[in-house]
Structure 1
């Protein structure tokens, strides 16, 4: 066994996943005997899949140099999701989530998220289905903050809509999908993040206009349009204008202060915004 680990490492992981060797560079089964004890042959339940994760963890503790080979095999499998049956994809998603729940040493998050972003996989909805199963399983043992942390490290926190087919790539579809899947905390997090981005964009736009001594009517029109487009509450608009005013008072000339003051006064008139 030791010799096989050293000279033929990736097939070892293929056996764990599929019960046998795979053809070089593919996930297709190679000729030869296959055994029934593998990730893809077990039930799509965490209690059935967890023992395989723990087994791999033990191997990696003794032979940490094998992590790169595991990474290669997982990338190959994730890039080939369309070749698996639906229940097999679910098993892979559960397995992948458990590897991070169990903190499988050395497995980089890019190994999971980046291979999934193949256009054909995303377009077919396979990625959304996979990542939904991944999120649900990961959140069994971990908090939303933990999930956001791995998304950040995997460079996906700001790109969650990339998991959706292009026709469904909207905040509304995100909320609808994950609400239906019972991941309300994730929906609330995403809505809050979008809200904060819109506020930041509005503040930046108004700050620029006031710094350039834009006519106050244009500043107000910008604020009104932002409110309409982003559905921002009046209280937030007033707060942003107040922040812009304070910045103008601290850093800017008299004309800019007057513009900010005028914008703030007009924003407090009900029919203006």
Structure 2
């Protein structure tokens, strides 16, 4: 690699030599070239012809330190592994490096980012308890203390301890027992569990939590986790403490500080079996509905996917709509009872629609479909008004419709004529007929190829005794929906006039007779 690497020019009075520099292991050295060959080349490296000692300083940083020549291996001797040779070479190079001087008594300073702060929740507890006791029953002073103390105390690190003390007045062990129950100096009575059991007082404490979380936004998730934990610990709390916690949870749910997902902790088997879950839920929903209306509460339950899990608040042998309705109605929560009935009805309708769709796609006889639907109506207490819409949807989904507008009307009439007897069975009430008319109107508006077929479908149903004259006239005058109103009313104008004239003629004939 370093063969004939450098040729210096020796000028009088300079330190640079005109002799070529050869290094150990180079071809020139092996050939005996350079300054006389053999061992003489080493002397040439050290001294120039002028007698001065010279080596180009600009090359020193580029060249590795010289290695002594190794004797050639004996014939037949084993060759050392390449890795060992490389390691020996690197060790030799390492030993030739200059070691940096180290002062005696030098201290290595740990970087601040590498220092680990001790976890001392008891110190945090003592400071917090002292501040709460000094603030006393003045919740405005408590809120100001918590606001100002956040700059000195690590709320992020000790969030569990912070919320334990604000709710229970003490640090809580796993399971909900108080760690400092024997030492009153490490507890405070200025907390939720020690407050009066009335809605206004608990609402004042809820405002303290709201202010704290608005000021320190990073506590939001920690507070949610804390409330889930406290709901799991309900068995360790007294009935009064459970009531206060339920009221606090309901108020905070109403203000949006907490999400409805915290209620999943109530579905724990131990709480359900002992009846704690249902009792706590009633108190919580009462406080929630005191803040928000029933629609807001049920909407939050839907968003959290809890609307279909309310029955799980009761043991398996009591998970029925009737038991839930009676329990919550007796507690003054009829709105939730009605909501659950509607949700269960929707679930039943979805199952019914799925089964109907399958039977229609298999072209089951209409008589069998009628028997099946009547049995489901009786078993699930479904009204005819709920079934007629499902039937229409399933019948229209059972066919792949033509994309051409001029052909789809003929295809629709042929298909609906086949299933008109099925629709006639479940449209025996005037309200059912109006719902069917509205469903037909919405379908024809949403599927543009059916826009011109609306009047033909209505006439077909009139002739097949699916729709009565009274229902059509009422729909035309007042019961139609907004979708495509002007188009469909214009289509039906002549037919409605014919119906009205026929009605007048029949009335006049009746008077003559």
**2:260 paired residue number:** 109
Partner of 1:70: 223
1:66-94 CA deviation, whole Å, 9 max, x = no partner?
Answer: 22332332222111111111121111110
| Residue 11 (structure 1) shift | 1.1
User: Equivalences for 1:48-127 in 2 at 5 Å?
Assistant: 48-104=201-257, 107-110=258-261, 112-127=262-277
1:37 aligns to 2:183 (yes or no) = no
Compare 222-231 and 194-203 and name the one that shifted more. Answer: 194-203
Q: CA deviation at 1:122?
A: 1.1
The structure where helix makes up a greater share of residues is 1
Q: Runs of 5+ in structure 1 lacking a partner?
A: none
CA RMSD of aligned residues (A): 2.6
Q: C-alpha separation between the residues in 1 aligned to 2:379 and 2:418?
A: 23
Distance 2:384 2:288 in 1: 38
> Deviations along 1:132-174, whole A, 9 cap, x unmatched?
1111111012011110122123220121111122221101011
Q: TM-score, normalised by structure 1?
A: 0.86
Q: Could you tell me which of 249, 260, 268 is aligned with 2:419?
A: 260
Q: 1:208-228 CA distances to partner (integer Å, 9 max, x unpaired)?
A: 211211122221221121122
Structure 2: gaps (5+ residues): 1-148, 403-410, 430-513
Q: 2:180 aligned with 1:27, yes or no?
A: no
Provide Cα deviations, 1:37-85, integer angstroms capped at 9, x if missing partner: 1111112211121222111222222222222332332222111111111
Q: How many residues align?
A: 266
Which is higher, the Rg of structure 1 or of structure 2?
A: 2
* Residue in structure 2 matched with residue 206 of structure 1 by the alignment: 356
**Equivalent residue for 1:162, pick from 288, 305, 312:** 312
List aligned pairs for 1:218-237, cutoff 5 A: 218-237=368-387
Instruction: Tell me: CA distance 1:234–1:3, structure 2 relative to 1, closer, same or farther (3 Å).
Output: closer
Q: After superposition, what is the alpha-carbon deviation per residue over 1:189-225, rounded to whole angstroms, capped at 9, x for unaligned?
A: 2222323333333233222211211122221221121
TM-score by length of 2: 0.48
Say which structure, 1 or 2, has more relative contact order (CA 8 Å, 6+ apart): 1
